[in-house]
Chain A
């Protein structure tokens, strides 16, 4: 596969970047997220993390169901601060 293909659109990471992190010895999605920022953008990993999970599964010779997902945290989609607080902004 073309290693220049974009995996994480928010943080502009390619398949090569992900493979490089895996080759450094990072074995979980959470670690790859922390070291590359993959999944830290506005989409919060909805596009990229399943792709990274598949890549990790392949590299570790495991089934994708054995790769633990990252912790889900609120909000589920970007929300304006004022929507949450209800405070009037000046």
Chain B
């Protein structure tokens, strides 16, 4: 264990590892990451791994576009294949009202340089040949969206950050934070105490637990997302990433051929990451409604993880006035993996230069109190 560091990051998921990497790249190499288990143990190793720029707000579009631009060069930059593929992303509308909303979203996205478009049911079927289109009014599609391997992405950031001098302490849980007035005196862990000039709360669904240690309330609610895994299928059997957010969840075929059927996130007590039969049977029923010829496909596993929701589904990227040097980067509301690279870059800029290359006002911690 070390005595302290310029920057102590709590959480070794894709957000924490990405911050550590971009900080080290900016020249701040006195960085420590505290991870209660190991990188990918939390949300990052359990997500559906969709990367999409199709959002309804300007700030989310800008964040996601920034992330895609970083994802494009990451395998080379980090010297580790993160299996990034811009295979496109289809968002099904299951009502005319939804489709109208997608039309407004696409207009906004196009104005920001995101090449999304509205597609007819017939065009959607050309994109996903086994899609059942009965009753579907249409969909939105963006060809430059895609997927990457979240496990490899987290490991890649952590590995590259370490190579630049950042230190990762795995199996090291933060148990308390001692304050002296409005300053952080020590961060207490299961492996001893340490000091940090800046302490970043990148604990994802556990960010409120860390917040309570410094006496602040972080309005983040954990929700459980369950995913069913099928046996490996031939290439492009079920691509690209497709979601029907309000009614279903999503499906995506991984680089290795397995199809993941993802259930929408639901509130859960006590950080329960168990699997429920209710979710599994709901998801298999819905899949049969949306996809033809899928009944004989074997399911080999399911898993579940936690997403982290703020009241407005917009992340918190913000220093806190009450505690000097305490920075929150959490609350990605189901999109932390997609936003991981840009999040790390922006936070590293904020720490190293005092300002970031995208406006961070929309992500202020204090917006909930207004």
Q: For the complex formed, measure the closest distance between the CB of A53 and the CB atoms of chain B, giving whole angstroms.
A: 16
CB 8 Å contact bits of A48-89 with B (1 = contact, 0 = none): 000000000000000000000001011100111110110111
With a CB–CB cut-off of 8 A, which chain A residues contact B285?
85, 87
CA distance A26 to B154 in the complex (A): 14
Task: Quote the shortest CB–CB distance from B112 to chain A (angstroms).
Answer: 35
User: Which residue on chain B has the smallest CB distance to residue A89?
Assistant: B295
Counting contact residues on chain B (CB < 8 A from A), the size range is 20 to 34
* A35 in contact (CB, < 8 A): yes
Beyond A28-B38, A42-B231, A74-B275, is A81–B302 a contact (Cβ under 8 Å)?
A: no
Contact B294 A81, beta carbon cutoff 8 Å: yes
The answer to whether A34 has its CB under 8 Å from any CB of chain B is: yes
Select which of B38, B256, B277, B298 is within 8 A of A31 by beta carbon: B38
Residue in A closest to B159 when the chains form the complex, CB atoms = A24
Q: Evaluate contact between B288 and A34: CB separation under 8 angstroms.
A: no
Total residues of chain A contacting the partner, CB 8 A = 27
Which A residues are CB-close (under 8 A) to B232? Answer: 41
Option from B170, B231, B284, B294 in Cβ contact (under 8 Å) with A78? B231
Within 8 Å CB of B294, what residues of A?
81, 89
Q: How far is the CA of A2 from the CA of B170 in the complex (A)?
A: 32
Does B271 touch A at the CB level, under 8 Å? no
B293 touches A89 (CB 8 A): yes
B344 at the interface (CB under 8 A from A): no
Interface centre among A78, A81, A87 (most CB of B within 10 A): A81
Separation of A41 and B256 alpha carbons in the complex (Å): 10
Q: Is the CB of B288 within 8 A of A81?
A: yes
- Choose one: A28, A31, A44, A80; the contact of B295 (CB below 8 Å): A80
Asked if A82 meets B231 with Cβ closer than 8 Å, knowing A74-B280, A87-B285, the reply is no
Q: Does B151 contact A (CB under 8 A)?
A: yes
Q: How far is the CB of A21 from chain B (nearest CB, A)?
A: 11
CA–CA, A78 and B302, complex, Å: 11
How distant is the Cα of A64 from the Cα of B340 in the complex, in angstroms?
36
- For B289, the chain A residues whose CB sits under 8 A away are 87
B284 touches A87 (CB 8 A): yes
Residue B67 CB within 8 A of the other chain? no
Q: Which residue of A lies closest to B277 (CB)?
A: A74
In the complex, what residues of B have CB within 8 A of residue A75's CB? 299-302
Given contacts A84-B281, A87-B288, contact A78 B299 (CB under 8 A): yes
Cross-chain contact A81 with B299 (CB below 8 angstroms): yes
User: Does B55 interact with chain A (Cβ within 8 Å)?
Assistant: no
| Chain B contact residues, CB within 8 Å of chain A | 38, 40-41, 45, 151, 155, 170-171, 230-232, 256, 258, 275, 277, 280-281, 284-285, 287-289, 292-303
Interface residues of A (CB under 8 A from B): 26-28, 30-31, 34-35, 37, 40-42, 44, 71, 73-75, 78-82, 84-85, 87-90
15 further interface pairs, Cβ-Cβ under 8 Å (given A74-B302, A80-B295): A30-B41, A31-B38, A40-B258, A74-B277, A78-B298, A78-B299, A80-B297, A81-B294, A81-B296, A81-B299, A82-B288, A82-B296, A84-B299, A85-B285, A87-B288
The 10 closest A-B pairs by CB, nearest first: A89-B295, A82-B295, A85-B284, A87-B288, A78-B298, A84-B284, A85-B285, A34-B151, A81-B284, A78-B300
What are 28 A-B pairs with beta-carbon distances under 8 A?
A30-B41, A31-B38, A31-B40, A34-B45, A35-B155, A40-B256, A73-B301, A73-B303, A74-B280, A75-B299, A78-B298, A79-B298, A80-B295, A80-B296, A81-B288, A81-B295, A81-B296, A81-B297, A81-B298, A82-B284, A84-B280, A84-B284, A85-B281, A85-B287, A87-B289, A89-B294, A89-B296, A90-B292
